[in-house]
Structure 1
Amino acid sequence: MSHRITAVIVDDEPPSRKLLRSLLSAHPQIELIGEAGDVMSAAELCERVKPDVIFLDIQMPRLDGFALLPLLKKIPEIIFVTAFDRYAVRAFEVNAFDYLLKPISPARLEKSILRLSVAPQHSTENLEDTDMIALREDSQLRMVPLRTITHIEAEDNYTHVHIRGEATAMVRRQMSDWDKVLPDVSFVRVSRSLILRLDAVQKLQSISRDLSQVTLLDHTRKIELGRTASVKLKKAMENQ
């Protein structure tokens, strides 16, 4: 996020909101644009001001913080703020950006805001090769340079993100979501289940009229392509 990051605090305890507000004031890139003390008020506030990030308490009267998410038409980044660590797995299951324990450590908050500052927003704007991208898998968040992703393969509602020099990440993100954000000049979706980074393609070899094999940099496994996928890849490589 190159611009200021708009934020909303949702917590039923005024002292907790005051403390977080004070901590956030040390980070000029964060613009606090609203606070709410319950889920329903938070839903109305977020629909009106459309923040980039919500600092969201979990344990609140009547409805907990998780109940807010289905009420939002567009879910921004969510940073859960809670006194209990037992919700961590569930938080990352709903793609939370981060999970902060109360009392909040200023150093830990700073680390989260730093990651937030370089992470792509939930938008339909294309990323650039110089961007970092957040990959959420199970209970951990990995920040990787976009240019190190060699290819992406689909599996049901998940995708396997292959990263040069690192372990493959399995994230809950569909291929259609990748289509919206990956730069067209660098990536091509050759089939329903495969996206390739063009400069990672080391060799494209024809095996038969209807079958080709792709060799990628830093990968020993060859990927088989059908005729249509092969044509798409060749055309994209020629247009580079």
Structure 2
Amino acid sequence: MPTHPTALIADDEPLLRTALAHQLQHAWPELEVVAQARHGREAIHHFEAHHPDICFLDVHMPGLSGIDAAHHIGRRAHLVFVTAYDHYAVQAFAEGVLDYLVKPVEPARLAETVARLKDRLQAAQPAANTEALLQQLATHLQRGTAAAPLRWIRAQVGQNLRLIAVDDIDYLRSDAKYTLVAWRDDAGLTGEALIGTALKDLLAQLDSAHFAQVHRSVVVNLRAISHVTRGDNETASIHLKGRHETLPVSRSYLHLFRTM
């Protein structure tokens, strides 16, 4: 093994790859990130070229996923999975010996993972026999991704990639080929961004207890509603807390506000 441990980072979001590399630089200065990959196929290529000690693999990547790449790598490296789906993924990881990080990666959690990896490298402990665990994880995630509500939305805001907590979203509106995401931060400041995911695809992943479709092009966070005003022809307008704009309610969805 080289003097300094080495690592590979695989994530389809370049800004998230860079962010994790910077976090690792602070949490583990001796660790050398020898390669970064955009998807599973590239991760496999870089692994074979550099043979890193540790691989940080995003679970969901286009083409070959992080789990697919892990099947190829096997016991030749210590694996750390990075996922945005915490509930079902963590349940799967907790049942095995696989390491995981939940996006956005918290420094305290990263420090715990780094400590475990250092111990394993120091003890020359081989990576776990992962084949059965990976199969179990893939089954958990396939079932859990469909059932677990979405928690974060990635949006490009200028030159920055912003991770928007779903709880902070006031509403979503279909805009041609894009979806407008309107949110507010902890300080109450509002923001907007366009993303490429269709509104109907987002709606299927949102918690129906908090989000409702009120128009064919609008989904609203029920917790963001101030009041609803009835209009003509069996329509209505939604007024939002701390926002000047109103949202339309079409006749098909007016039943949601019958008690007003």
In the superposition, the TM-score normalised over structure 2's length comes to: 0.45
Query: Normalization by structure 1: what TM-score?
Result: 0.48
Structure number with bigger Rg: 2
Where is the helix percentage greater, Structure 1 or Structure 2?
Answer: 2
